[in-house]
Amino acid sequence: MLPIILRRLALSVPLLVVVSAITFVLESFVPGDPARTVLGINATQEQYDALQAAMHLDQPVAVQYWLYLRDLLQGDLGSSLFSGESVLGLIGQRLPVTLALVIGGTVLASLVGVVLGVYSATRGRFSRRLFDIVSLLGSAVPNFWIALLLVAVFAVKFAFFPATGYTPFAESPGEWAAGLVLPVISLSIGGVAFISKVTRDAMMSTLALDHIRTLRASGIGPTSIIWKHALRACGLPVVTTIGLMMITFIPGTILIENVFTLPGLGTTVVDATNQHDLPVVQGLTITFTVMVIVVNLLVDVLYSLLNPKVRTE
């Protein structure tokens, strides 16, 4: 398992280099005074100076990047051009909301997706057709629109859940959970379609395997065959898919958080983009990338745990 983890970490070094360099490279393409162009004509002199200083814009691009990397390695991501807050502090404050969304969405989509996939694998052709159409709908329709429809129905019309806003867990766990229900559902719908499709295909090919036939020939019932033996054999493709889905959920939170005005990384990055707050954008880009790397690592570890051949070696 160790070589797999090391390989993943080795791959993430160039990834982080590329991602952290991206704003510097882009900014060097801006004609004229980058600070002026980026901030627009309405910016104050203080903001202009702050951006100049934060990005070391008086230096050549390579030096700018080097200075940024040096600070980054010391855990210093700079501070916001507008609030003056440290970027790291901002991330620490907003991360829990985004994590709650991503984890909640992953758990929900995995459970529902696997159950639906198994169900459709063991039913007839008609239900498979129907399932195909529903799953295509779920994956094609943009999630921010689904989120808005959910708000229109469950928050505006029936007032089951709050339409927007966020209550910290420490304040009231109940309201915290109620506020996350609609966002988590909206985020997970595309994932449900994805997971159920992969589970269905994996399940159908697994059910045709020899060892499943042996179990059937020994009189083992369908419940144990499907939910214990066949599902276990589907573990690898399904876990890989759950990982891929979770990675799409990470940027997916941006739109969802904005629909529900949740104070997470997604709303923060959009606000920072609108305000041209480069240090914040920069820091969040790296944070999102690290989240993707962590999910990939988790999948790698799970992958080797699920494979008995890797495990015993």
**What's the closest the beta carbon of residue 174 comes to other proteins, in angstroms?**
25
Q: Which is nearer to other proteins, 55 or 112 (CB)?
A: 55
Give which of 154, 151, 153 is closest to 262, Cα–Cα: 151
8 A C-beta contact, residue 284 and residue 91: yes
**What's the closest the beta carbon of residue 203 comes to other proteins, in angstroms?**
13
**Burial tier of 86 (Cβ tally within 10 Å: 0-12, 13-18, 19+):** middle
**What's the closest the beta carbon of residue 247 comes to other proteins, in angstroms?**
8
**What's the closest the beta carbon of residue 72 comes to other proteins, in angstroms?**
15
**What's the closest the beta carbon of residue 27 comes to other proteins, in angstroms?**
6
Q: Which is nearer to other proteins, 93 or 248 (CB)?
A: 248
* Entry field: residues in the chain: 313
Q: Which is nearer to other proteins, 56 or 169 (CB)?
A: 56
Q: Which is nearer to other proteins, 128 or 173 (CB)?
A: 128
Q: Which is nearer to other proteins, 86 or 248 (CB)?
A: 248
Produce one character per residue of 28-64: b if its CB has 16 or more CB atoms within 10 Å, e if not.
Answer: eeeeeebbeebbeeebeeebbebbbebbbbeeebeeb
- Cα angle value 125/128/131 (rounded, 5°): 155
